[in-house]
Amino acid sequence: MCGICGFVSLQPVDGGERILQRMVETLRHRGPDGCNVCRVMRNAYLGHTRLAIIDLSEAGRQPMPNEDGSVWVTYNGEIYNFLELRALLEQKGHQFRSRTDTEVLVHAYEEWGDRFVQRLRGMFAFGIWDGGRGTGDGKLLLVRDRLGVKPLYYAHLPDGTIVFASELQAVLEHPEVSAEIDPLAVDAYFAYGYIPAPLTIYKSVRKLPPAHYLVWENGEIRLHRYWQLDFTHKRSESEDELAEELRERLKETVKLHMVSDVPLGAFLSGGMDSSSIVALMAQVSDRPVKTFSIGFDDDRYDELPYARLIAQRYGTEHHEFTVAAPTAALMPDLIGYFGEPFADSSALPTYIVSKMARGHVTVVLSGDGGDEIFAGYEWTRRALLWGRGGAEPSLTAAKPRPVDPWREALIRHGTDWWHRLVKAWRDFRAGPIATFQRRTRTPLPIRQLLYSADLRTALNGQTADTFQDALLQAAPVSDWREALLYGDMLLYLPDDCLTKVDRMSMAVALEVRPPLLDHILVEFAASLPFEMKLRGRTTKYLLKKAMTKDLPSETMQQRKQGFSVPVAKWMQGQLAEELLALLSKNDPFVNGETVRQMVEWHRSGKANLGHLLWRLYVWAVWQHRRETIRRG
């Protein structure tokens, strides 16, 4: 795992090496084992910071060229089928100077062109510069993996220059990249708690979407989608046959993900997904698996007892850490790693367990992705409670009706029995799709309460609701219920879950590999009938059946918690005071009076606004940090 960056311009760049060096410096935490900057041709610059995982020698140094220096790559990730691809390329006459997967990318591009990315099995983000052996102005190829495990940001400037990097703040180090805030991205943040691709908080910078590659030539860019998850082709074998196949596929991908020249372990939350990964790791490993777990000082959110069950069953070398409320000193630093507002509160325990693990290993396997591919989320199950006897609902978003926003806030967040009853009745009348949307994003009327008059004017009727609405409507499914899974896989998974894990683990130079997001396994899961994922009240039905002999019954039956964090409790205390103090400085995007009213409701118990106030807190800290940096 590494950090990558670079830029290409049509015109000479004054101080290009200095600009690139500043970009690389912002990524040093991602690659402490070395850094390098290269002017690979005229106005083309590539940078890299290295976290050495495979072939620790200098032969693995990046950016890496081909034999004649006409093709260069800067790469972040792991290619799990690189040995297979290397063998094919050697048969075709390509010669290798290292044992790295990086060098495979260079020769695969030479052999198969842009479409070679379809042959890759892994998690990756990379840039390939093709100088055309001096015959033209060259071409830049930017690629991101199918599920969005690895990040890639870019800015295409008015003069044709393209700037790219693993993290947002590195792109901003280029002096021509504007830091003007995008109002639609602000709305997206308060809608979802994160900013979905291709948006970033800045108008001039974009995220390369998962399963896409970008080609830059002569100052112009073209985006291409190279993979599409399809739920329409279903398997018809028996339940037992599919469960057996699933277990074999899981075992195969876990074994592939364990290839490493450095110490390796696993995150163990005690839930179904991470427990399955650890169980299979223990069965294919010749030594005890190192496992890492985190708990909370609030028993309602603590899964450590379940993690210990798995650790004891498989004799792992187990490590634990218990977390209290976050401190004001820690949170601004963590928020800074994202480069933009990001309100998933489980980033805090993810950072802490990553830091703990990094003291023992360089690579960990995780259970990320299981909820998306096997229908594990509670909001999916609850939304489908309102399925109206199986009738197929429309996936087209209903037109919003004028409502009283404060009444909406009470119906959604009120703690008294009356408002809870009204909420349940409205969900029943609205049906599963509208219920899913209400549970996965903050409704527009409530968001608009938060906004200043200037922000509402700047939005001019635009809304970030369309990101989710469009995904649900265009979902390639034969069973409408799987549109919910498709929406989560293309929105929540890459832009929240995987973003959180990448930034918090790479903050301490820890590589996290998610075997459940091997695209071949994901395609298999998509081919399963929906009842094999969610049957009645049982989530992850086939996964539980496949792992019955490997996991204790307590793991199968426990209620899902994940890295749940008690933000409601936190936002009743000191963090609420910090929020009010930060917003007293007249934030140009947020209505301070609304925030004060919401804090009062939350503290009095009239409404549980913990998650919404947490988003406001993160926004306020991010804004304060941004202004402090800007003022020097």
Please answer whether residues 329 and 20 qualify as being in contact, where contact means their C-beta atoms are separated by less than 8 angstroms: no
Choose among 139, 152, 277: nearest CA to 209.
152
The DSSP code for 193 is: S
Instruction: Quote the tokens at residue 395.
Output: 């996936």
The answer to whether the Cα torsion of 509, 510, 514, 519 is positive or negative is positive
304-314 and 272-284 helices, crossing angle to 10°? 20
* Residue among 2, 5, 35, 497 flagged as catalytic: 2
| Distance from chain centroid for Cα 490 | 10
Closest CA to 254 of 516, 1, 76: 516
Cα four-point dihedral sign 321, 322, 323, 324: negative
Tell whether residue 19 is among the known ligand binding residues. no
5 carries an active-site annotation: no
**Cβ pair 307, 293 in contact under 8 A:** yes
Token code pair at residue 97:
């100077």
Strands laid side by side in the 122-130 sheet: 64-65, 71-79, 122-130, 139-144, 212-217, 220-225
Phi, psi of 622 (to 5 degrees): -65, -45
Q: Can you tell me the distance from the alpha carbon of 93 to that of 198, in angstroms, rounded to the nearest whole number?
A: 39
Beta carbons of 195 and 201 less than 8 angstroms apart: yes
Q: How many CA atoms lie within 13 A of 133 on its CB side?
A: 4
* 3-state SS class at 213: strand
Residues 260 and 557 sit within 8 Å (Cβ to Cβ): no
Tracing tokens 């509208």 back to the chain, one arrives at 434
Answer yes or no: is 294 a known binding residue. Answer: yes
Structure token pair of residue 377? 């989320």
Task: Please state the separation of Cα 183 from the chain's center in Å.
Answer: 22
How far is it, in rounded angstroms, from Cα 116 to Cα 124?
A: 13
Q: Which amino acid is at 37?
A: V
Token pair of 87, please? 């063998």
335: helix, strand or coil: helix
Is 394 marked as binding a ligand?
no
Closest CA to 404 of 448, 436, 451: 448
Q: Are 476 and 230 a contacting pair, CB within 8 Å?
A: yes
Which amino acid, one-letter code, is at 456?
A: R
Q: How far apart are CA 384 and CA 393, in angstroms?
A: 11
Question: Rg for the chain (alpha carbons), in Å?
Answer: 24
Q: Specify the DSSP class assigned to residue 38.
A: E
User: Long-range contacts made by residues 235-243, C-beta under 8 angstroms, separation at least 24?
Assistant: 235/527, 235/528, 235/529, 239/532, 239/542, 239/545, 242/528, 242/532, 242/542, 243/542, 243/545, 243/546
Q: How far apart are CA 534 and CA 487, in angstroms?
A: 16
Token duo for residue 276: 């399955």
Q: Determine whether the annotation assigns residue 230 to a binding site.
A: no
The label of the residue with tokens 């928020």 reads 335
Dist CA 151 CA 51 (whole Å): 16
Q: Per the annotation, where are the binding residues for L-glutamine?
A: 101
Binding-site residues for ATP: 294, 366-367
Residues belonging to the active site: 2
Residue list for the binding site: 101, 294, 366-367
